[in-house]
Amino acid sequence: MINEQKIPCPVCTTAIPFDVRQLLMGVQFTCPNCLAAIGLAVESKDSVNDALEKFKDVKQRLSDNT
């Protein structure tokens, strides 16, 4: 996964690797330990996408200042 992040499984707390872009596209990710699935609710996609874009802007501004 290109932009791999990890989130703790809500069932067993095992780290679940996921890709932010795939998450925004509706892909669900499965816990490698207990097989619980996580995904992003449709109504949350715009909020998460906006936050991701703001984060990218801040990251870019910080790298421009160094």
- The 3-state DSSP class for residue 1 equals coil
User: For the chain, what are the domain ranges?
Assistant: 4-64
Q: pTM of this prediction?
A: 0.65
Per-residue pLDDT of the chain (66 residues), as tens digits, is: 456 789 999 999 999 999 988 988 889 999 999 999 999 888 888 888 898 889 889 989 898 886
Q: What is the DSSP string of 2-66?
A: TTEEEEE-TTT--EEEEEHHHHHTT--EE-TTT--EE---GGGHHHHHHHHHHHHHHHHHHHHT-
**pLDDT the model gives residue 1:** 46
β-pairing, 37-38 vs 29-30, is: antiparallel
**pLDDT the model gives residue 3:** 62
